[in-house]
Structure 1
């Protein structure tokens, strides 16, 4: 039973949560990042979009079966048990607060464009910490404020990006495109190389499923919001990249530090594009941090309900697990301080690599859970006519996520696995604690066994000539 403070997210807000979490700050550099591979990167983007939509549909189907807060954690635990559920929650939690620190640091660069001039390390740190704690304060205020901030920020960043993407098509010049495949090697190699950079563009498709407990009519709206949000992000990604490719000369785009700004300048002249795009980037990052701050609390909250995370994560106010928000903000802040004052020393980069692998663990387990539910005969709420389609989507989603793992690179997988295995110690401690506390069912069982033993002993100690009540005859 949900309290009166929950389920404040309608379809529009849930869609904004998905879209806002997918579109962070990376999109503003994305066209320049893939330009060296040629226009084959657009094909890679299209293939990835199909995989992301398949994953989104799988999350929608799973939410119909389990419309509870925690999303991937809930599905993994239901299908494969406590340990798989814990690994999903631990990986997702790690990914959220580390990536929040990375987003906050990225925001500082765009703030410099808006307010040029010399800035000290201390000022940069204050800006980064402000980017972390302003969304945290919105989360402390409750899901109503989280939803409001998410809706406004998503509109404010989606409209200008879509405007550039659509208007750019009218300025499109095919001569500015590079070759279909730039550089040496095969076309397939270029496709894979571009895909490796683009793979994590769609991390966030699970956002509505993760907050299903706060979504009104989740069986219906979570799936719709997931697909709508993913498709909306895909439109901005694909059209935006295509427009930039066709408005900025390829040799300039390869070395561009602000491709969308260069595209605006090419379309309308002047040099005001940088300011406009920097403002959109700051809004985009703050909106993403608002949504990811909520996500950082949802997974440990769901795990804590099952005794797999410390009970403190159960603290909840106005639909938001406040302790989880606080813990994530403090950890992300500590990582940000390390980045600015203790020198990176590779620490920050290593932790960011961890996030690239950690994001895939819950996805793989969720896709595997859907395959398990379908093949094990647990097809509740799945119509026979949809079985083949749902199984195909689950297999495609699993393959897409497996591709994510392969694209992460050896360093990301190595560092990510180490951090994932470190969670085993936490699981052991929590499992031992639960083992010392008998559950209600165990207490009841022991009580019943004790009563049965007492009655047997009483019967054994009764006098031999005690009257035995007659057994009623069967009717």
Structure 2
């Protein structure tokens, strides 16, 4: 007897999504942002320790995914770690996780929108970014099932482009597959701090599995589907990222990669296959659209959960009677992202977003620690390592990202305190 068979009640979301759609949404969130956006800053931070940073980011992502999967099976509701923190640690910690997620991922939305603009029409990047936000908000508005179908197409295109990049880099006329071997150490100028900072940047690319957990009310048989979808999506992403990183290092090396504004396009040109570069640019734009679609989806669901508990304006908790989506939350998120995309310089958005999301997962791991064996608690080492890893990567990020991230979390905590005092009065 499962929850998947029950029809949606008033104010509830309909369970449209099966395991395949949940995996595709996770892939659309992860594969897209990182491959095209995070490799170069990670190489600048970690130098020849890029691959080690990728491995560290993967370990932290695995711990976070495992903790999130166990919690999502226990609490199959929209909101993700906002719900887990509230239920396991108390109202404040759930609120803080939700606040960090909404603010950090809203910045990520703007970054992805501007990435679309920079690849499609660099001279009109802001205008293209706003148009992308409006279009994808409209797609989400008319139903999550339609968003899943669009994400499926995006993932197929991006995986095809990445496969072509890896093949070109490893077999092209100028490819040197042995060059990556000199890039696997920690480097002489970066040290472990640089490797940790590279891992913090690369973690930005692995955070998409949260989108699966935040869709808890829209997934069929969530107790089985969510953990399986998270593990599958993360495993596929790890394989893809490792292959792309090795291939790009094979032709560029860490120094040239760090200086590249479009590393995958530069890599295929350096490998002697310049005709593939336009396809890579199209792939980058499509990948960013896929990430933006899933980001808006996830942020709006966390906004819905927080609005239901009146941590955000309760008017945002409405569910559309026909489309069964949190339409007011989606419109509010879309409007804010559009303003940011039109006005902001989001070059530091990856670091800022990573800090907020790492704080979010630190709460998730702590919540998973409190599960009992009967509730499906993961091995103790998993949430412990996940919490420590989140803290290490967060505070290894550039100082500006740490300061802004900490300030935003403090602002959210202060707002929570003011609301509590007002409620008592």
Determine if the TM-score, normalized by the shorter chain, exceeds 0.5: yes
CA RMSD of aligned residues (A): 2.7
Is 2:394 the partner of 1:417? no
User: How many angstroms apart in 1 are the aligned matches of 2:39 and 2:353?
Assistant: 22
Closer, same or farther: CA 434–13 of 1 in aligned 2, 3 Å = farther
Is 2:356 the partner of 1:362? no
Q: Which moved more, 1:249-258 or 1:126-135?
A: 249-258
Q: 1:336 aligns with which of 336, 341, 345?
A: 341
| Alignment partner, residue 78 of structure 1 | 87
Matches within 5 A, 1:96-175: 96-112=105-121, 119=123, 123-166=124-167, 168-171=169-172, 173-175=176-178
Is 2:327 the partner of 1:319? no
Shift of 1:142: 0.9
Closer, same or farther: CA 320–404 of 1 in aligned 2, 3 Å = farther
Is 2:298 the partner of 1:302? no
| Alignment partner, residue 203 of structure 1 | 207
| Alignment partner, residue 398 of structure 1 | 387
Contact 1:353 / 1:415 at 8 angstroms: preserved in 2? Answer: no
Equivalent position SS for 1:390: coil
Shift of 1:325: 1.0
User: How many angstroms apart in 1 are the aligned matches of 2:319 and 2:390?
Assistant: 32
| Alignment partner, residue 45 of structure 1 | 54
| Alignment partner, residue 261 of structure 1 | 265
| Alignment partner, residue 12 of structure 1 | 20
User: How many angstroms apart in 1 are the aligned matches of 2:7 and 2:387?
Assistant: 32
User: How many angstroms apart in 2 are the aligned matches of 1:194 and 1:316?
Assistant: 40
Contact 1:309 / 1:430 at 8 angstroms: preserved in 2? Answer: no
Contact 1:63 / 1:222 at 8 angstroms: preserved in 2? Answer: yes
Closer, same or farther: CA 143–194 of 1 in aligned 2, 3 Å = closer
| Alignment partner, residue 32 of structure 2 | 24
Uncovered stretches (5+) of structure 1, i.e. residues with no partner: 114-118, 437-475
Shift of 1:356: 2.8
Shift of 1:354: 3.7
Closer, same or farther: CA 256–84 of 1 in aligned 2, 3 Å = closer
Shift of 1:225: 1.0
Closer, same or farther: CA 193–338 of 1 in aligned 2, 3 Å = closer
Closer, same or farther: CA 186–275 of 1 in aligned 2, 3 Å = closer
Contact 1:166 / 1:239 at 8 angstroms: preserved in 2? Answer: no
Contact 1:51 / 1:400 at 8 angstroms: preserved in 2? Answer: yes
Count of matched residue pairs: 411
Contact 1:72 / 1:363 at 8 angstroms: preserved in 2? Answer: yes
Contact 1:21 / 1:291 at 8 angstroms: preserved in 2? Answer: yes
| Alignment partner, residue 62 of structure 1 | 71
1:389-409 deviation per Cα after TM superposition (whole angstroms, max 9, x unaligned): 532221122122122212223
Q: Which moved more, 1:41-50 or 1:65-74?
A: 41-50
Shift of 1:39: 4.2
Shift of 1:43: 2.3
1:66-85 deviation per Cα after TM superposition (whole angstroms, max 9, x unaligned): 11111101100001221111
Contact 2:52 / 2:185 at 8 angstroms: preserved in 1? Answer: no
Shift of 1:162: 3.0
Shift of 1:48: 2.0
| Alignment partner, residue 99 of structure 2 | 90
User: How many angstroms apart in 2 are the aligned matches of 1:13 and 1:153?
Assistant: 13
Q: 1:228 aligns with which of 215, 226, 232?
A: 232
Equivalent position SS for 1:380: helix
Tell me the TM-score normalized by structure 1.
Answer: 0.79
Shift of 1:132: 0.9
Q: Which moved more, 1:258-267 or 1:287-296?
A: 258-267
| Alignment partner, residue 467 of structure 1 | none
User: How many angstroms apart in 2 are the aligned matches of 1:351 and 1:174?
Assistant: 33
Shift of 1:127: 0.7
The structure with more radius of gyration: 1
Uncovered stretches (5+) of structure 2, i.e. residues with no partner: 1-5
Matches within 5 A, 1:270-281: 271-281=274-284
Contact 1:13 / 1:151 at 8 angstroms: preserved in 2? Answer: yes
Equivalent position SS for 1:320: coil
